[in-house]
């Protein structure tokens, strides 16, 4: 939809044309709504220089819209205040979604510079709305007088809450202080994220000879050679880092010195001096978050954050972590003892370290289950996983269909676009797949939305999934690890949450739900990774097309709980660090983040060196740059709901349209328009139980 004020300002500011002539005004494609199907952004027309002017115009336009609402002489009504607010900011929302997505998926120095410039401006813009006392007075009046039902009632409730939590009730001097804190935090979080990406690229491991890569599969060696050539280091090999502590090559390299080098570099990122060191940034972010929470009336940032989540209280989260932690670490130590036994049997002559874990866990897995993880990769060719696995499961469970669209523009040649339709052929959404790792892309895997569904605005979803699968050399197949396959199914669960959204107000669309609920639907979708009918359909050898042998399938299923102590411990250690940083009162913020990290892990019993946290403090982007501050526990919290739901689906027939339609109707389509735990109960018919999770992970809770 065209912004109310954009129509009169459709041209970008002039730029120099040659030496002395101003350029003719050029149309900015961001100023008007896209005419492409589903309003897909016209990526082929958008240039770096379009974003700045579009941001400035978008902010100015929305502030005019907000001022018109706040200054209206008419008494506040639901339509002229709340609905009008939902309609405001069309241009700004459009440019912000596109820009934010591309700075994650395909950034460059120009976009990074603008990102740093815009962060405090966007923070100031948001504060200008939520701290507008006249606007809040109208919302307060509606809160005090209106009796609404359904989605309208929830819109009023959540709008009011968001104003209060943002500081609308503070006195003006306190609001000024809050604005300054928010602006500084926005700048610091952007700097943290950019430092993490730059350090990952700067610290890529250069290997001189092929012999040093002994044990690494041939296709991965070829990819390392291609990466080196791309960086002008032909004849050498480059191992690019992921943003996690552990690194994939550690599971296959027999060269222990190289394994140790890789892990040392990985664990030391952003904390060993230099321009990308995040230690001072971490301390300042922690200080500002603690002070802001105190200003808003909370004991610490975690208390502020959790109030708006389904967990509600710090005590609830602390108990969950405390209950699961001892059993996880005990299992990890038992697993470590098994690995040490293997090392000793081989007369290795060394004590197990984190650099050895992945390699020797594969050896133990192979010995125990006659199963080698590398046996799986030939059966996990990426396109087949997508079409015959991820899409196939969705078609069976929900009846939807997928058709590739090669006629639509993309922001990178590796991206594919798929049109999604209902079983009866009605259009549902566009789905973008961005599979491969590259230096311009942040680490990890995620889903985002370029266009959110809204009945009010008449929009249908455009959603994207991003992974970081190493790109093979030209002409070679992209073979995925089992973990990457499961991640693909996980992220597509988020995509379904966006695509199936059926709400009126943009505020509630798709994944706009509490942070500790958003992972739940995506984790449920992981169940199809190993579902027999689905696995048989996609797990086929990339050369012969032969299905994965039944013997290998049985080994895969038998090994499903293998290494769960390690996986649970590394995750819980990171979740614990996140809570520790954000349960600090302002005077308690430490002076050295690494000393603090060690003290926290040691006190909680997580000081088992062979299993480092999945993310160490200085590259923990989820919590210091993303939306998971005091919320990294969400994955295990959501897994309680997920495991219970999977248990329900299995008990009620599994992969059936009836189950899929119920999950879609009661939960995936509702977004944030209803109470999250109410949605869960509407689907399962009961309150959450932790037992299915404990069974899945092979854990017992110490009473």
Mind telling me the catalytic residues?
Answer: 491
Cβ proximity of 644 and 688 under 8 Å = yes
Exposed (0-12), middle (13-18) or buried (19+): which is 662, by Cβ within 10 Å? middle
DSSP H or E stretch at residue 427: strand 427-436
- Name the residue among 555, 426, 551, 571 with its Cα closest to residue 499: 426
The strand pairing partners of 434, in sequence order, are 466
Q: What is the dihedral of CA 389, 391, 392, 393, to 10 degrees?
A: 80
Cβ proximity of 677 and 689 under 8 Å = no
Exposed (0-12), middle (13-18) or buried (19+): which is 167, by Cβ within 10 Å? buried
Residue identified by tokens 């030496």 is 19
Cβ proximity of 483 and 451 under 8 Å = no
How many Å apart are CA 397 and CA 400, to the nearest integer? 8
**Alpha-carbon distances, residue 277 vs 127, 574, 593 (angstroms):** 30, 19, 12
How many Å apart are CA 503 and CA 455, to the nearest integer? 6
**CB neighbours (10 Å) of residue 217?**
15
Residue identified by tokens 């997928």 is 402
Cβ proximity of 472 and 479 under 8 Å = yes
Q: What is the dihedral of CA 654, 659, 660, 662, to 10 degrees?
A: -160
Phi and psi, residue 11, nearest 5°: -105, 140
How many Å apart are CA 179 and CA 325, to the nearest integer? 38
- Name the residue among 152, 33, 175, 171 with its Cα closest to residue 507: 152
Phi-psi region of 8 (alpha: psi -120 to 50; beta: other; left: phi over 0): alpha
Three-class DSSP category at 469: strand
DSSP H or E stretch at residue 430: strand 427-436
Got the DSSP string for 470-526? Answer: PPPPTTS--BPPHHHHHHHHHHHHHHHHHHT---SSGGGSTT-S-HHHHHHHHHHHG
Which residues, 6+ apart, have CB-to-CB distance to 352 below 8 Å? 336, 339, 340, 343, 360, 610
Pairing between β-strand 427-436 and β-strand 462-469 as defined by DSSP bridges: parallel
Cβ proximity of 513 and 468 under 8 Å = no
**CB neighbours (10 Å) of residue 21?**
9
Residue 410 is classified by DSSP as -
Which tokens belong to 444?
């990890």
How many Å apart are CA 92 and CA 99, to the nearest integer? 10
Got the DSSP string for 31-81? Answer: SS---SGGG---TTT--HHHHHHHHHHHHHHHHHHHHHHHT-SSPP-IIII
Residue identified by tokens 């599971």 is 251
Phi and psi, residue 237, nearest 5°: -135, 135
How many Å apart are CA 156 and CA 152, to the nearest integer? 6
Three-class DSSP category at 242: coil
């Amino acid at each position: 939809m065209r912004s109310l004020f954009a129509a009169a300002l459709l041209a970008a500011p002039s730029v120099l044309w040659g030496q002395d002539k101003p350029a003719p005004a050029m149309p900015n494609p961001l100023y008007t709504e896209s005419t492409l199907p589903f309003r897909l952004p016209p990526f082929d027309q958008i240039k770096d220089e379009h974003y700045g002017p579009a941001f400035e115009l978008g902010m100015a336009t929305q502030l005019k819209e907000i001022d018109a609402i706040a200054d209206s002489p008419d008494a506040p009504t639901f339509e002229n205040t709340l609905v009008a607010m939902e309609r405001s900011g069309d241009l700004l929302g459009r440019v912000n979604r596109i820009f934010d997505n591309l700075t994650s998926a395909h950034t460059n120095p120009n976009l990074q510079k603008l990102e740093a410039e815009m962060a405090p401006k966007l923070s100031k813009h948001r504060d200008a709305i939520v701290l507008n006392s006249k606007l809040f007075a109208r919302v307060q009046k509606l809160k005090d007088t209106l009796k609404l039902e359904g989605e309208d009632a929830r819109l009023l409730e959540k709008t009011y809450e968001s104003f209060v939590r943002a500081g609308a009730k503070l006195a003006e001097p306190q609001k000024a202080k809050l604005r300054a804190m928010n602006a500084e935090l926005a700048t610091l979080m952007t700097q943290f994220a950019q430092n993490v990406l730059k350090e990952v690229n700067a610290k890529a491991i250069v290997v001189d000879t092929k012999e040093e890569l002994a044990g690494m599969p041939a296709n991965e060696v070829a990819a390392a050679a291609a990466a080196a050539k791309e960086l002008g280091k032909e004849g050498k090999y480059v191992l690019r880092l992921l943003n996690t502590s552990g690194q994939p090559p550690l599971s296959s390299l027999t060269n222990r010195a190289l394994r140790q080098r890789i892990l040392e570099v990985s664990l030391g990122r952003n904390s060993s001096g230099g321009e990308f060191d995040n230690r001072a940034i971490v301390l300042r972010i922690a200080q500002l978050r603690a002070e802001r929470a105190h200003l808003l009336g909370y004991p610490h940032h975690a208390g502020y954050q959790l109030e708006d989540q389904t967990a509600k209280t710090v005590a609830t989260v602390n108990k969950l972590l405390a209950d699961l932690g001892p059993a996880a670490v005990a299992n990890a130590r038992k697993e470590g003892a098994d690995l040490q036994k293997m090392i000793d049997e081989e007369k290795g002559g060394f004590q197990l370290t984190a650099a050895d874990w992945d390699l020797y866990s594969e050896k133990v897995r192979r010995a125990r289950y006659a199963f080698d993880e590398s046996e799986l990769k030939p059966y996990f060719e990426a396109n087949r996983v997508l079409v015959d696995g991820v899409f196939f499961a969705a078609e069976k469970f929900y009846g939807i269909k997928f058709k590739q669209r090669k006629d639509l523009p993309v922001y990178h040649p590796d991206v594919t676009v798929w049109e999604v339709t209902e079983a009866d052929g009605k259009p549902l959404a566009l789905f973008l797949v961005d599979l491969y790792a590259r230096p311009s892309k942040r680490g990890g895997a995620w889903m985002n939305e370029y266009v959110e569904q809204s009945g009010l605005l008449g929009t249908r979803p455009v959603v994207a999934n991003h992974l970081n699968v190493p790109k093979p050399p030209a002409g070679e197949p992209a073979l995925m690890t089992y973990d990457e396959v499961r991640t693909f199914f996980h992220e597509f669960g988020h995509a379904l949450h966006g695509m199936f959204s059926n709400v009126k107000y943009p505020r509630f669309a798709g994944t706009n739900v509490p942070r500790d609920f958003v992972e739940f639907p995506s984790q449920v979708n992981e169940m199809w990774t190993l579902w027999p009918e689905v696995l048989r359909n996609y797990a086929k050898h990339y050369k012969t097309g032969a299905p994965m042998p039944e013997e290998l399938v049985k080994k895969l299923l038998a090994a499903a709980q293998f290494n769960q102590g390690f996986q649970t411990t590394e995750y819980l250690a990171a979740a614990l660090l996140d809570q520790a940083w954000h349960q600090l009162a302002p005077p308690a913020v430490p002076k050295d983040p690494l000393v603090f990290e060690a003290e926290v892990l040691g006190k909680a019993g997580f000081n088992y060196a062979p299993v480092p946290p999945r993310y160490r403090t200085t590259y923990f982007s989820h919590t210091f740059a993303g939306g998971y501050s005091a919320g990294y526990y969400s994955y295990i919290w959501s897994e309680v709901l997920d495991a219970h739901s999977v248990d329900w689906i299995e008990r009620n027939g599994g992969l059936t349209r009836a189950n899929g339609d119920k999950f879609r109707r009661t939960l995936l389509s509702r977004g944030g328009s209803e109470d999250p735990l109410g949605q869960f109960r509407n689907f399962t018919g009961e309150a959450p139980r932790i037992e299915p999770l404990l069974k899945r992970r092979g854990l017992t809770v110490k009473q």
